[in-house]
């Protein structure tokens, strides 16, 4: 295991040393393969996802307005009817047990007034959530915060190297077992997704950052809680909307449906998409 350090880092960041690392997996989804070696220059990465408290400091200082707080970009959606040209964001809506799991849009809704200040819709707030990760963050929102903080977004390889915490060829940030000694070590879905979350880990929605043990480098919440943006482009067919790689899984990941609360797992997300389970953490060059 290669050790990391916080001694010479910015507050709240951990230094990942330069080196050759193994990333990817041949045991799960095709997009994770093949296992490969990458050379990484030294960098720093946030110990935890950016919280609501931290994002509020940024908004108060800059006056920034997130993508979810603005009407949809007319250049991306030129045919959108006037009545739908309103600020809105994507929220998980628990469906009945009869839902067809092959139709994921059945449990997602575009909710007017949902945004980072109102994570589950206009009638909700950040009360009691200041140490939870900020959500409803689109790619440009994450970039804007990182620029304000004098940081950047990590690449997908940097993110994975940091998330593995020095472990090699292990499925999770803590080792090879999903629930060692019967313990859940991440905020994910327990039970048949998407209709019955047993909340064995203590949470249905997001959890305060650091509610679960840190990995070998001292990073928290690299498995579950919220998906995290990276700067790495995700390959899409010509003509499709641009995407970036997201990593880490979320509180909605379940091993019986979306077993992506692992360092090697990834998805591609369109740049203007913001959801109730999408956040980020920042990186910086050493």
Q: What is the CATH number of the domain that holds 18?
A: 3.90.1580.10
Q: Would you say residue 1 lies in a domain?
A: no
Per-residue burial over 16-31, b if 16 or more Cβ lie within 10 Å, else e, is: bbeeebbbbbeeeeee
Q: Would you say residue 261 lies in a domain?
A: yes
Q: How many domains does the chain have?
A: 1
Beta-carbon count within 10 A of 199 CB: 13
Q: How far apart are CA 181 and CA 178, in angstroms?
A: 10
- What's the pLDDT at 81? 80
Range of the domain at 140: 13-285
- What's the pLDDT at 77? 76
The CA-to-CA distance between both ends of the chain, in Å, stands at 20
Handedness of CA 21, 23, 27, 33 (dihedral sign): negative
- What's the pLDDT at 5? 66
- What's the pLDDT at 193? 96
Single pTM value for the model: 0.94
Q: Six-digit token pair at 49? A: 């996802």
Q: Which residues of the chain have pLDDT under 50?
A: 1
Q: Would you say residue 4 lies in a domain?
A: no
- What's the pLDDT at 183? 96
- What's the pLDDT at 7? 58
């Amino acid at each position: 295991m290669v050790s990391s350090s916080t001694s010479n880092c910015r507050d709240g960041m951990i230094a990942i040393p330069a080196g050759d690392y193994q990333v990817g997996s041949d045991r799960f989804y095709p997009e994770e393969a093949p296992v490969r070696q990458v050379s990484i220059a030294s960098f720093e990465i946030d110990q935890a996802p950016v919280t609501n408290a931290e994002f509020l400091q940024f908004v108060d200082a800059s006056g920034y307005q997130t993508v979810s707080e603005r009407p949809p970009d007319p250049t991306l959606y030129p045919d959108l009817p006037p009545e739908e040209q309103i600020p809105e964001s994507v929220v998980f809506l628990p469906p009945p047990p009869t839902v067809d799991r092959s139709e994921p849009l059945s449990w997602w809704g575009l909710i007017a007034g949902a945004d980072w200040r109102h994570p589950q819709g206009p009638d909700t707030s950040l009360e009691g959530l200041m140490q939870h990760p900020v959500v409803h963050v689109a790619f440009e929102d994450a970039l804007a915060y990182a620029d304000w903080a004098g940081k950047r977004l990590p690449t997908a390889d940097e993110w994975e190297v940091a998330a593995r915490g020095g472990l090699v060829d292990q499925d999770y940030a803590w080792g090879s077992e999903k629930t060692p000694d019967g313990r859940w070590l991440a905020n994910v879905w327990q039970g048949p997704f998407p209709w019955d979350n047993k909340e064995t880990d203590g949470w249905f929605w997001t959890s305060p950052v650091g509610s679960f043990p840190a990995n070998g480098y001292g990073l928290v919440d690299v498995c579950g809680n919220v998906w995290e943006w990276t700067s790495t482009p995700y390959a899409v067919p010509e003509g499709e909307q641009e995407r970036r790689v997201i990593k880490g899984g979320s509180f909605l990941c379940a091993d019986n449906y979306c077993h992506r609360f692992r360092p090697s797992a990834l998805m591609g997300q369109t740049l203007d998409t913001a959801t109730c389970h999408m956040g980020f953490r920042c990186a910086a060059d050493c």
